[in-house]
Amino acid sequence: MGAQDTLTRPEIDAALVELPGWRLRLGGLSAALKCPTSATALDLFATIGALAQAANHHPDVDWRYDTLFVVLSSHDAGNKVTARDVALARAISSAAAEAGAVARPELLRAVEIAMDTADFTAVAPVWAAALGLKAGEPDELRDPAGRLPTMWFQQTETPNANRFHFDIHVPASEAQRVLAEVEAAGATLDRSSAPQFVIATDVQGNRLCICTEEGRDA
């Protein structure tokens, strides 16, 4: 398999068996690496940069005190996971272990803003202009810098009165804990589409979805 090849979901799942600290999330491989100190995190950040330069393949890395949040996807393959991502994840995991970093998958969350609309082409340009987003998949807008949430337009002839909701993506390994906390906080849960997503509604009727990588393609 060439390093440029996009991986199928079964191939990604097989690779993740050997990468226990990583999760598939919103089309990329993600890891949260908690280091012994902030200085160690900065050193690991530099090591990841060197590994990326050597591989000519560059991840998104967010440094937060003693923790690094790393996302790997191949932009030239349409933000899909390729063999390059798996190879770099393996190298990063090795460097993290040497630095004494610990994977914390429970810290991995991503927010996608969803809007119910009967015609997303009529409204998407407004949101793209206001937020500086660019077209990703046909029904979504993405931040080229990767800082703002993706905006997804849920095409429907019967938009909900609450047109906006958050899709909160968590690893499947953490979903039941998160759902239990959401329910304990007062939400009602609709599990009819689990494990792909569960709709949570708060006491005022506001909706959100707790989403996982299960039931999704690569």
Indicate whether 4 pLDDT > 70. Answer: no
Q: Rounded to an integer, what distance in angstroms lies between the CA atom of residue 81 and that of residue 74?
A: 6
Q: Rounded to an integer, what distance in angstroms lies between the CA atom of residue 26 and that of residue 211?
A: 10
Q: Rounded to an integer, what distance in angstroms lies between the CA atom of residue 42 and that of residue 30?
A: 18
Q: Rounded to an integer, what distance in angstroms lies between the CA atom of residue 79 and that of residue 27?
A: 7
Please, what is the average pLDDT of the chain? 93
pTM of the predicted model over 0.85? yes
Indicate whether 10 pLDDT > 80. Answer: yes
User: In this structure, which topology does domain 107-211 adopt according to CATH?
Assistant: 2,3-Dihydroxybiphenyl 1,2-Dioxygenase; domain 1 (3.10.180)
Domain extents in the chain? 9-105, 107-211
Chain centroid to CA 1: how far? 25
Number of residues that make up the chain: 218
User: In this structure, which topology does domain 9-105 adopt according to CATH?
Assistant: Gyrase A; domain 2 (3.30.1360)
Collapse the DSSP code of 37 into the 3-class scheme (helix H, G, I; strand E, B; otherwise coil) and give the result.
coil
pLDDT, one tens digit per residue, over 128-138 is: 999 999 987 88
Q: Decide if 9-105 and 107-211 have a common fold.
A: no
Q: What is the mean pLDDT of residues 54-77?
A: 93
